[in-house]
Structure 1
Amino acid sequence: MRAAVTAARAGLADRAQDHLVEARTVAARVEEGIYHGTAFGPGSVRIHEVTLALDLDAPEVALAAAAGWVPPRHLPAERRSHFYVDIGRAQFRIGRHEAVLDAFDIAHTIAPEHIRAHPQVKETLTDMRACGGADSTAISRFAAQAGIADFSY
């Protein structure tokens, strides 16, 4: 999964997809769990599929991969929270600004400390405010409630 994301961030889409296929194949043979300190299984692979699509600049693909699925509660909170951060980021990229804060709010409910320190959350909120695509007061309120440091209210 990590190799897939790293390849995507390097712009190597084919290699990223190959790594994701391999992760999905292996995940189909194991239960979701913590293996050598890393959460791995079908749910973890699905969350990485969403991340991978975003890193490949395909927010519609990310939302399609996420559609109708809710991360199971047995997944680590940070991993479940990241799923909703990525949904929010994808919503922002396709111009559904009203849905960004909804996704970030779910992520914050799951793992508040994760959201407080997540650079992509802060970056998305900053970009959202700059483009004027959402209510600035709602953005500021969320940032304050989430305890996001260094965010100009």
Structure 2
Amino acid sequence: MRPLLLALSAALSLVAVPALAANPVQAVTESGSGVAQRLVELSTKDEVAATDPRVAQAQAQLKKAAKATGESEQAVAAACTRAARFIFDATKSPATPLDVLDALAAKGAGRPMNDSVGAYVAARRNAAGKTHAEAMAAMK
């Protein structure tokens, strides 16, 4: 009976771990610290050090976007991650959470976060294959 319980326990632990790791929105917003680092890692698909200059840039953009929208950094990061996945699913164009964060930091002041993210998604979706720069130029 004991080996059966150990095997069942091991099987359940294997099932639970991939479920958490498979959800990038949850992974990026699990705790307040390291959100910028996790955004960079999702965008580059590689581990990066907390001291990487891209992390510092992402942190600055997170702060700017959070201030402009009145949302928390975690909410901004989650929205950017969801939008990047949606853009890829809808257009098969590569989009990263950092692309969406850049758009939100640059064009998000004075309107709700969902409107700014939606405008970026629409710019990317309206012409599949558009680059981030082209989408930024097309945003209203």
TM-score of the superposed pair, with normalisation by structure 2: 0.28
Higher radius of gyration, 1 or 2: 2
TM-score of the superposed pair, with normalisation by structure 1: 0.27
